[in-house]
Structure 1
Amino acid sequence: MNNFRGLKIDKNIMTVEEFYEELSHVNASRESRLKYANKVLDDRSLFPSLLDILFMADDKVSCRAAWVFEFVCTQHIYHIIPHLELFTKNLKKIHFDSAVRPVAKVCQLIANTYCGKKPNPIKKLLTHQQQQRIVEAAFDWMISDQKVAAKVYTMETLYLFGTCNYWIHEELAQIIEQDFYNQSAGYKARAKHILKRIKAKNKK
């Protein structure tokens, strides 16, 4: 399979090809996603392969990898720490709707953790450049034709990172206001909430 050319494979663990075959059986049910997420949580050596498959962005199995990736990171966001450079460098490759949504949610999880009040490894180890890559991908998702769920996660990500970078709030507010009347009720509800928080933050 040409998708695997150049990928490093440890003979002592499941190969990327084998894991790809497993992920091809994932379906949209919560039970299915959780089943394969638990495999990764039980065997962290599978996490790099999960990312490799996730970033085969023109392959539909990448969407299934994204579903599993979301569940893994929801359960334990710190699994991504050794892979933050790879993850952020490849974010812009993701383009299928069903992959963008879970990846956008993981970006929100990273932002939530980074901007949390308590010290944590992501707050310590996420670099400025990696944060900027997430912000750039998020703005791309905001101005492109993405589903509402992806944009809702993305608004929250940009709001959180914008608490430390005022220009992000300015640009986010401008995009929301320009796009507001063309969007769904779900988008508008979240957008109003985000704009209210931005205004409140700027008054401080």
Structure 2
Amino acid sequence: MKDVKIIEELSGQINRNLKQVRKVTWLIKGYQLNDSGYVTHLNIAKCNLKGNWPSALFKLTHLQVLDIQENQLESIPEEIKELRNLSCLDIRNNQIQELPQSISTLPVLQRLYLGNNLFTKVPELIQNCDTLKLIDFTDNLLSEGVEHILKSTSISNIYLRNNCLKYFPFHLIKPDRILELNIMENNIENSQENLPWVKNVLL
């Protein structure tokens, strides 16, 4: 099935007429096609999904960037594994508490935005996401599990601002591995005055 036909199906499922645009941004909802007619970028933020992921979405197997913010989603279905070309998933401002195991099977996922959800701990599977470079848990309820991020061999940008962290395992930070670390607005009781091997750190 051509991707344009899938978009028509998806538009019906979300009750929103999706338009092709030259550049998808957070402010512009719609989709981008590549020269072969495949959808590579899709923005369906604020589409009032209320917990239901449209099934047509998982047919867009060439999708690289998905913005599905502010939809009252409570989970990410295992079917996310069908999006084998997904490199960026932005699912901020929802009601998600955990990740499906299939997230760790996505072969090119590099950026995962999970800000303003309901996570209380960092899922262990994060350390098994071998291509992930950026993880954003800003504005959640995290109190544990940060070690799973620091055990990753690929993550270089970590955003944990405004959570419930009281302890941070600074000793697990490997030299020249982390480019940016933001742990502002937490109540971290153990201090680390100097992190010379982190290029940009916000404590």
Structure 2 length-normalised TM = 0.43
Give the number of the structure whose residues are more often strand, by fraction.
Answer: 2
Give the number of the structure whose residues are more often helix, by fraction.
Answer: 1
| Structure showing greater relative contact order (alpha-carbon pairs closer than 8 Å, 6 or more residues apart) | 1
